[in-house]
Amino acid sequence: MKYLDEFRNPEIAKKIVDEIHTATTKDWVIMEVCGGQTHSIMKHGIDQLIPKSIELVHGPGCPVCVTPLEKIDKALAIAARDNVIFTSFGDMLRVPGSKKDLFMIKSEGGDVRIVYSPLDALKIAKDNPDKKVVFFAVGFETTAPLTAMAAWQANEQKINNFSLLVSHVLVPPAIIALQSSPQNRVNGYLAAGHVCTIMGLEEYYPLTEKYKLPIVATGFEPVDILEGILMVVKQLEEGRYEVENQYSRVVKREGNIPAMEVINKVFQISDQKWRGIGVIPHSGITLRDEMASYDAEKVFNINDISVDEPKECISGTILQGIKKPHECPAFGKKCTPKNPLGATMVSSEGACAAYYAYHRQENL
Amino acid sequence: MCLAIPGKVIEINEEQSIKMGKIDYAGTIKEACLAYVPEVEIGQYVIVHAGFALNVIDEEEAKKTFELWDEMTAKAAEEGLDIFGMPLKKENKG
Ligand code: SF4
């Protein structure tokens, strides 16, 4: 347990680790859905503190990683146009499209700006009425109410030079897709705390029933993750399958109702392609028909771009928990954070980048 | 991406009929949209993601998380960003 003393709260961490060891009698596979949790697990060596019979697999919960390649290419095509200000959260700029990334477009003269909030993008639109301002709306349920508010406000304030390039994904349909795959090995899930802050827990109840699956909404601190693992293990060992809330200090069962109302005014559920995985039914949201004038794909009339992923990148199987990053032949050789082949190496929340940063290839 | 950080609401105002406010994050003050926490009052703590308060949390909890500040800052720095997701260049802080 060489890492335990690095915990902010080593005594509590040790107590939970001991409890996990006592509770575990069988082999279990647990998936943390969220990339922030993957990062925390690697950084604190949580995978090495828990019993060997518990395998942690890393889920598709990194929005940067699952944004489809063709969406990135569309972003690049729009950002390269004259008269456009393309705005995005900072972590999308280095994600490789099929040929370039947003940083290259910026260095070639494109007006690409990093913003802190989608409302900042809206402000840029107000200040630059002669430009078309686009916000790259990427993220899970946590981020959807933010982009929804930007679109709603654009509509209310009649800001017509603003649009969204939307690539929003939803977590519960992804769990259904993983569970429906014949290769699935996952016995229980840690659900991402901040996603549940918005959506609440309701959607998970039918999943626990249907797939006999413990699902525990879990926070991001290392001690939260340990506690989430303990709660899943106890359920598995006792033959229970329930929705439990480890992160009750932030997550309420009903979620954030005002946020969901604005999401529903602006967006509708749609099928969505996930990078490396493919199309998952009902797993995304797109702008409602009445909001179509804020849809950048329509505003710029960008035809569907179809592109192939680099052949050697196996990030799709990694995002589904089937393979681990170090099993990829390119890992740490052709593919590094400086020179990423796939999106899971770009974002620090991507499993490949987390394994690389914390040298997980060596001792496995 | 889903990083959300706690801060204290120190000012509430209205802009284009949306509830906005100033949030104090361990000394750094920034604007945030408060439309999704309509019940929030000055002095309460909220969890903020990309300029939007997502939930009201209790003070104890917020203070605990402030201890995590360094760790979160370091994680963001690995991506070349500050804790608010902006590039690590002072003049770009907005
Ligand atoms: S190491 Fe690189 S090439 Fe291999 S799966 Fe990860 S991102 Fe793809």
Mutate to test the interface with A, among B2, B29, B61 (most CBs of A within 10 A): B2
Task: Give residue-wise pLDDT tens across range A224-233.
Answer: 999 999 999 9
Pairing of strands B5-15, A278-287: unpaired
pLDDT tens digits, A196-221: 999 999 999 999 999 999 999 998 88
Q: What is the DSSP letter of A151?
A: H
Residue A88 near residue A63, CB atoms below 8 Å: no
Shortest CA distance to A181 belongs to which of A316, A55, A52, A47?
A316
Q: Which amino acid is at B47?
A: I
Of A222-236, A249-263, B2-16, the range with the lowest mean pLDDT is B2-16
Query: CB-based contact (8 Å) between A142 and chain B?
Result: yes
Query: What residues of A are in contact with residue B65 (Cβ under 8 Å)?
Result: 221
Q: What is the arrangement of strands in the sheet containing A111-114, beginning at the earlier edge strand?
A: A111-114, A84-88, A132-139, A162-169, A278-287, A267-274
Contact A171/A198 with Cβ under 8 angstroms?
no
Residues 6+ apart with CB under 8 A from A204: A172, A191, A215, A217, A243
Lowest mean pLDDT among A116-125, A287-296, A338-347, B65-74: B65-74
Are residues A192 and B2, on separate chains, in Cβ contact within 8 Å? yes
Q: Buried (b) or exposed (e) across B27-65, using 16+ Cβ within 10 A? A: eeebbbbbbbbeebeeebbbbbbbbbbbbbbeeeebebb
Tell me, using a 6 A CB cutoff, whether residue A105 lines ligand 1: no
- Measured between alpha carbons, how far is residue A143 from residues A136, A188, B94 in Å? 12, 25, 19
What's the pLDDT score for residue B92?
41
Nearest to A57 by CA among A67, A49, A47: A47
For residue B3, give the nearest of A232, A291, A348 by alpha carbon: A348
Name the range with the highest mean pLDDT among A24-28, A191-195, A301-305, A313-317. A24-28
Say how many Å lie between the CA of residue A39 and the centre of ligand 1. 16
Q: Tell me the one-letter amino acid at A114.
A: I
Per DSSP, the three-state class of A26 is coil
Q: What is the mean pLDDT of chain A?
A: 90
Residue spans per domain, chain B: 6-78
The structural domains of chain A, ordered by start, are 6-60+174-239 (3.40.50.11750)
CA dist list (Å): A299 to A110, A154, A161, A291: 18, 15, 10, 11
Q: What is the pLDDT of residues A182-200, one digit of tens each?
A: 889 999 999 988 899 999 9
- Give residue A229's pLDDT: 96
Tell me if A286 sits within 8 A of A264, measured CB to CB: no
The pTM assigned to this predicted structure is 0.88
Q: E-strand spans in A146-200?
A: 162-169, 188-192
From A352, A355, A356, A360, give the residue whose CB has the most ligand 1 atoms within 8 Å, as the site to mutate.
Answer: A352
* More reliable by pLDDT, A48 or B83: A48
For B6-78, CATH gives 2.30.30.140
- Kind plus residue range of the DSSP H or E element containing A88: strand A84-88
Whether B75 sits inside 8 A of A142 (CB atoms) is no
Distance from CA of B60 to the nearest CA of A (A): 10
